Amino acid sequence: MSKAFADILRDLAGRQPGAPALTCGEDTWTFADLHARSARTAQALRAEGVGPGDRVGVLSRNCNEFFELIFACNMLGAILVGLNWRLSAFEIEAIVADAKPVVIITGATQEGDLLSDAARRTDGLRRIVTIGDDYEAWRSGAAAEDPGHHGQPDEVALILYTSGTTGLPKGVMLTNRGMSYSQRLAAEIWGMTSASVNLVAMPMFHIGGCGYGTSTLLVGGHTVLMRDVNLPQVIRLIETQRVTHAFFVPTVVQGLLEVPGVETADLSSLKLLMYGASPIGESLLRKALTILSCDFMQAYGMTETSGTVVNLMPNEHRLDGTGADRLRSCGRALPFVEIRIIDPVTLNEAETGAVGEIWVRSEMVMPGYWQNPAATADAIMPGGWLRTGDAAYRDADGFIYLFDRFKDMIISGGENIYPAEIENVLLSHPAVSEIAVIGIPHARWVETPRAIVVLRTGMTTTERELIDFARSRLAHYKCPTSVLFADMLPRNASGKLLKRELRKTYRPSG
C-alpha cells in the first residue's frame, strides 16, 4: 500500500532521527528536526481552521520551510498549493481565486508583493504569513504534537498549476498514491539510498521540485536545496556536500561546463545527473561525460503524471552506433507505467514509427483538474488513459521519440512538420547553443518554419549556412526558410520553451 508523505517522515524520524534531511544555505535539518517542525506547523495551520481538504498556498522561493509545509499539510489531510512566483500578480490572483486557500505562506523577499489586494481578499483566506520572524512567531505559539492524520491513497496531497504553455494554468490534483511513486523512483530507478545526497534546484511549485525534490528525502537521504540556480554555486555544492545526484535541463548542463575551474573541481562524488525538458546533444553529452564523469539519464514526465514516467537509462547514453541515435529518445516506459501512441484522429494505436499522441496509464496519473470537470474529461479517457498532448513515435524496441505538442505542429503545403525534428538537427551544428522553431504565415504554403537561434559563446554562423545545414539532413519542405538570432529563449520553470511567447515576438502579424 502506498504511503503518504507524513507517514514516510514519521517512519524516518523514528529510524534515523539524527541523519541530515535538508540543507538550504547554512541551515541543515535532521529528520527529527523536520518532523518536529512540520508537526508544530501543522498545529499552527489547524489553529487557523485548516482541516482535511482545505488548501494552503505557498508563494516562496526554495527553502526548507517549503518541505516543512508539504509534510505539515499532509499531517492534517490538507492540500498544499504551489504558487509560481515567476508569474505576474494578475496570474497569481487568478490561481488564488481558483484554489481558495485558507492560509498563504509567502517568501521573505519580494514574493509577498505578488499578492494583489484582490488576492488578499479572496473568499475564505484567513491568514497570510511571511517566512522569517513572522513565520517563526506564528508557528512557535502552536503545540508541538503531531496531529496524527494518516492520509488515504486517494486523498489529494498537492495541487500544482500547469505551466500555462498552452493557455491558462489548470490545477493538477496529485494524490498520496501518485506522489508515493517518488519514493519508488528514487529507490528502484535512480539508485538512491539513505547515503545519497541530492542537489535540488528546480522550483518547489513545480513537479520537478515537489516530485524529484522529495525523492532522496523519502528514502532517507540528504537533500541539498538551492534557492535559485547559480552555476558556480552548483559546482561548490557538489564539492562541499559530496552530491551524488542532481537534475538539470540541458542548457544548465551546458552552462556548468563553462564555469571557470570546472575541469579541476572535485566532482568525484557525482554518480547520476538527470536531465529533462529536451534531449541532450551528442557534442554536449561527450563534453559532459569527460568533465563531469558521471552517468546520465533523461526523464520524461509531466505534472499530470506526478513526475517521471519514461527514462532513457545510463547504459543507453552510448555515443557509438545506434547509441548516438538513441540520444534523441526520452527512453522507455517505467515498469509501473503503460504508454500508448495514439493516432489523434482515429484514436487507434499508431503503427511503429508513426507519429501519434502519447497516452499514459498508471497509478501516478492525476484524478483530474481542480474544479474543472470539462478539462478533466478532455484529458482522461475511458480506462484511465491520460492524453498528454505530446506528439511522439515509438520504435520497434519501445523507445519513445518526442516531437512536439500537437498544437505546435506546422502544416506547410499540406505536409505536417514537427518543429522538434528541425531543432534536433540544427542542435548538432557546432555554433548552435539553443534553438526553437515556429510556424510563420506563408502566401503559398500557408505556413513555413522559422528558426530562432542562440549561438554558442564565441561562435558565429549565418542564416544561409544553417538553412543549408538543415537541407543536407532533412527533406527540404521541413527546413526553415528563415533564421533569426536571439540572445536567449523564453522558458518556463521546467525549462520548456514557451512557444507562445516566441510566436508573439517572431511571428509576423497579419
Q: If pLDDT is split at 50, 70 and 90, which confidence band does 381 have?
A: very high
Instruction: Over range 451-464, report the average pLDDT.
Output: 94
pLDDT, residue 143, reads 94
Mean pLDDT of the chain: 91
**72 and 21 share a domain?**
yes
pLDDT, residue 423, reads 87
Q: How does strand 171-175 pair with strand 368-369?
A: antiparallel
Residue with the bigger pLDDT between 486 and 87: it is 486
pLDDT, residue 474, reads 82
pTM: 0.83
**436 and 315 share a domain?**
no
Nearest one of 359, 314, 357, 364 to 335, comparing CA atoms = 364
Within 10 A of 119 (CB to CB), how many other CB atoms are there?
23
User: What's 293's domain CATH number?
Assistant: 3.40.50.12780
Helix axes 31-47, 64-76, angle to 10 degrees: 60
Q: If pLDDT is split at 50, 70 and 90, which confidence band does 165 have?
A: very low
What percentage of residues in the chain have a pLDDT greater than 90?
Answer: 70
CA end-to-end distance (rounded Å), the chain:
57
**149 and 260 share a domain?**
no
Residue 187 lies in a domain: no
Residue 439 lies in domain: 409-506
Residue 201 lies in a domain: no
Q: Contact at 8 Å (CB) between 107 and 115?
A: no
Adjacent-strand bridge partners of 245: 198, 272
Reply yes or no on whether the pLDDT at 252 is more than 70: yes
Residue 176 lies in a domain: yes
Q: If pLDDT is split at 50, 70 and 90, which confidence band does 321 have?
A: low
Residue 202 lies in a domain: no
pLDDT, residue 493, reads 59
According to DSSP, residue 315 is labeled G
The secondary structure of 363-414, three-state, reads CCCCCEECCCHHHHHHHEECCCEEEEEEEEEECCCCCEEEEEEHHHCEEECC
Q: Which distant-in-sequence residues (6+ apart) come within 8 Å of 478 by Cβ?
A: 415, 417, 421, 422, 449, 470
User: Which range, of 108-112, 165-169, 335-339, 498-502, averages the lowest pLDDT?
Assistant: 165-169
Helix (H) or strand (E) holding 222: strand 222-225
**151 and 241 share a domain?**
no
pLDDT, residue 406, reads 65
Instruction: Over range 105-124, report the average pLDDT.
Output: 91
User: For cell 483538474, what's the residue?
Assistant: 369
Within 10 A of 506 (CB to CB), how many other CB atoms are there?
16
**128 and 175 share a domain?**
yes
**174 and 239 share a domain?**
no
Last residue of a domain, one of 389, 404, 419: 404
Nearest one of 199, 156, 187 to 22, comparing CA atoms = 199
pLDDT, residue 419, reads 83
Chain centroid, CA 287 distance in Å:
24
Nearest one of 101, 274, 129 to 192, comparing CA atoms = 274
Q: How big is the CA angle at 322 (ends 319 and 324), to the nearest 5 degrees?
A: 35
Q: Contact at 8 Å (CB) between 262 and 239?
A: no
Helix (H) or strand (E) holding 411: strand 410-412
Residue 222 lies in a domain: no
Instruction: Over range 43-61, report the average pLDDT.
Output: 97
Sign of the dihedral through C-alpha 315, 316, 322, 324 = negative
Reply yes or no on whether the pLDDT at 166 is more than 80: no
Nearest one of 300, 310, 362 to 337, comparing CA atoms = 362
* C-alpha dist (Å) from residue 252 to 258, 266, 314: 10, 19, 19
pLDDT, residue 107, reads 93
Nearest one of 400, 398, 399, 402 to 389, comparing CA atoms = 402
Total structural domains within the chain: 3
Q: Contact at 8 Å (CB) between 35 and 146?
A: yes
What percentage of residues in the chain have a pLDDT greater than 70?
Answer: 95
Q: Contact at 8 Å (CB) between 182 and 8?
A: no
Q: Contact at 8 Å (CB) between 92 and 122?
A: no
Reply yes or no on whether the pLDDT at 372 is more than 90: yes
Whole-angstrom Cα distance, residue 422 to residue 419?
5
**420 and 399 share a domain?**
no
**325 and 353 share a domain?**
yes
User: What's 430's domain CATH number?
Assistant: 3.30.300.30
Residue 463 lies in a domain: yes
pLDDT, residue 501, reads 84
Q: How big is the CA angle at 196 (ends 193 and 201), to the nearest 5 degrees?
A: 125
pLDDT, residue 477, reads 80
**156 and 233 share a domain?**
no
**171 and 44 share a domain?**
yes
Reply yes or no on whether the pLDDT at 1 is more than 60: no
According to DSSP, residue 478 is labeled G
Last residue of a domain, one of 404, 421, 455: 404
Q: If pLDDT is split at 50, 70 and 90, which confidence band does 413 have?
A: low
Q: Which three cell numbers stand for residue 379?
A: 484529458
**398 and 413 share a domain?**
no
Give tens-digit pLDDT for 253-275.
888 999 999 999 999 999 999 99
Q: Is 441 left (phi over 0), alpha (psi -120 to 50) or beta?
A: beta
Chain centroid, CA 357 distance in Å:
20
pLDDT, residue 163, reads 61
Adjacent-strand bridge partners of 338: 361
User: For cell 509560481, what's the residue?
Assistant: 84
Residue 198 lies in a domain: no
Residue 192 lies in a domain: no
Give tens-digit pLDDT for 479-494.
999 999 999 998 865 5
Q: Contact at 8 Å (CB) between 272 and 314?
A: yes
Whole-angstrom Cα distance, residue 501 to residue 279?
21
> What's the helix, strand, coil split of the chain in %, to 5?
35, 25, 40
pLDDT, residue 250, reads 82
Last residue of a domain, one of 182, 211, 240: 182
**413 and 446 share a domain?**
yes
pLDDT, residue 414, reads 61
According to DSSP, residue 4 is labeled -
Q: How does strand 380-381 pair with strand 385-394?
A: antiparallel
pLDDT, residue 279, reads 72
